């Protein structure tokens, strides 16, 4: 065999070894079979209506838990262990193996996608502000907020909104970091913050479900798309990066439900708009 032939032979041998290793790694992925065998799946969530919250009867509900319940049943897993935690703890708890997935209306971002494996999207929404009645600071646009050094904004710690405001150049000292949406609402009510920035469904929920001294404020459509980025507001479930088998089965079951009329009815019941419900894949 000439030198050229030996080189190609070596390349093919290396390729075969790599493919064999990848195939073996995939076969070792028992993320789905393990859960089916135990009959229990641990789901992490943070309190942020309408994505996830506890109703008056003590039941975990909201957009993400209700969709998750349907998918878990379709996968043949019999019981869910709900694990409530602060929003900023969700991904670390998932990486540590203390939960099996996140059902909290988690938005896709490139940074998060390096740490978790996302499911197919379940919704897409835009941002809003929760302000005091009458909007006393006269807030109307992202850039105006960024340029007004006197405005204090409440944001969930580790949220996409926090990252967005930092990209706009907002001084971190003007950001009031809160562990959950309820604390953010209290920050606005008490005057600690002038506004709470969250996604439109979350702000709408708070503006309509509580006292009338808070107002939902739509962010100006004049703000350019680059401010938000191409991925803002795309919500999905999150899994450990290595749990390919679980994610694959989850997506297959999810495609049957997400975008259906039953899914649309579910989301509208939680205050979503028709335009925020994805089409069936």
pLDDT at 24: 45
DSSP alpha helix (H) spans, the chain: 3-27, 31-38, 63-74, 90-95, 110-113, 142-147, 160-167, 181-190, 200-209, 225-228, 244-257, 261-269
The pLDDT assigned to 195 comes to 94
Mean pLDDT over residues 155-169, rounded?
Answer: 89
Rounded Cα distance, 223 and 169, in Å: 15
| Residue 5: pLDDT over 80 | no
In 3D space, the residue among 266, 254, 245 whose CA is nearest the CA of residue 70 turns out to be: 254
Residue bearing tokens 């439900």: 257
What value does the mean pLDDT take over residues 65-77?
98
CA distance between the termini of the chain: 52
Residue extents of the structural domains in the chain: 31-124+233-276, 127-228
- pLDDT recorded at residue 144: 84
Q: Please report the pLDDT score of residue 214 as a whole number.
A: 87
Q: What is the mean pLDDT of the chain?
A: 87
pLDDT band (50, 70, 90) for residue 16: very low
* Intrachain domains 31-124+233-276 and 127-228 with the same fold: yes
232 pLDDT band (50/70/90 cuts)? confident
Average pLDDT over residues 213-237: 74
Q: How many helices (H) and strands (E) does the chain have?
A: 12, 13
Tell me the pLDDT band of 217, cut-offs 50, 70 and 90: confident
Give the number of other CB atoms < 10 A from CB of residue 151. Answer: 17
Decide: 154 and 176 in contact? Cβ < 8 Å. Answer: yes
Just give the CATH number of 31-124+233-276: 3.40.190.10
pLDDT of 226 over the 80 cut: no
Band (pLDDT 50/70/90 cuts) for residue 27 is low
- The arrangement of secondary structure in 127-228, i.e. its CATH architecture, is 3-Layer(aba) Sandwich (3.40)
Share of the chain above pLDDT 90, in %: 68
Q: How far apart are CA 109 and CA 51, in angstroms?
A: 17
Asked if pLDDT for residue 12 goes beyond 90, the answer is: no
Residue 82 near residue 43, CB atoms below 8 Å: yes
Mean local confidence (pLDDT), 35-52: 96
């Amino acid at each position: 065999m000439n030198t050229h032939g030996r080189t190609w032979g070596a390349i093919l041998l290396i390729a075969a070894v790599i493919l064999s290793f990848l195939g073996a790694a995939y076969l070792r992925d028992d993320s789905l079979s393990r859960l089916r065998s135990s009959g229990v799946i641990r789901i992490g969530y943070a309190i942020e209506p309408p994505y996830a919250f506890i109703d008056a009867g003590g039941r975990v509900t909201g957009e993400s838990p209700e969709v998750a319940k349907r998918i878990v049943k379709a996968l043949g897993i019999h019981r869910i262990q709900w694990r409530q935690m602060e929003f900023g703890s969700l991904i670390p708890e998932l990486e540590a193996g203390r939960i099996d997935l996140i059902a909290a209306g988690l938005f896709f971002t490139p940074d998060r996608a390096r740490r978790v494996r996302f499911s197919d999207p379940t919704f897409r929404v835009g941002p809003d502000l929760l302000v005091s009645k009458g909007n006393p600071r006269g807030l109307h646009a992202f850039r105006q907020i960024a340029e007004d050094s006197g405005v204090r904004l409440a944001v969930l710690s580790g949220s996409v909104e926090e990252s967005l405001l930092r990209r706009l150049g907002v001084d971190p000292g003007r950001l009031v970091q809160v562990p959950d949406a309820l604390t953010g609402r209290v920050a606005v009510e008490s005057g600690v913050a002038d506004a709470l920035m969250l996604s439109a469904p979350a702000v709408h929920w708070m503006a309509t479900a509580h006292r009338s001294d808070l107002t939902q404020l739509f962010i100006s459509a004049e703000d350019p798309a680059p401010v938000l980025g191409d991925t803002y507001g795309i919500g999905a479930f999150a899994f450990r990066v290595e749990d390919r088998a679980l994610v694959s089965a989850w997506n297959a079951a999810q495609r049957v439900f997400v975008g259906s009329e039953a899914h649309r009815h579910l989301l509208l019941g939680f205050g979503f708009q028709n335009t925020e419900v994805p089409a069936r894949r």
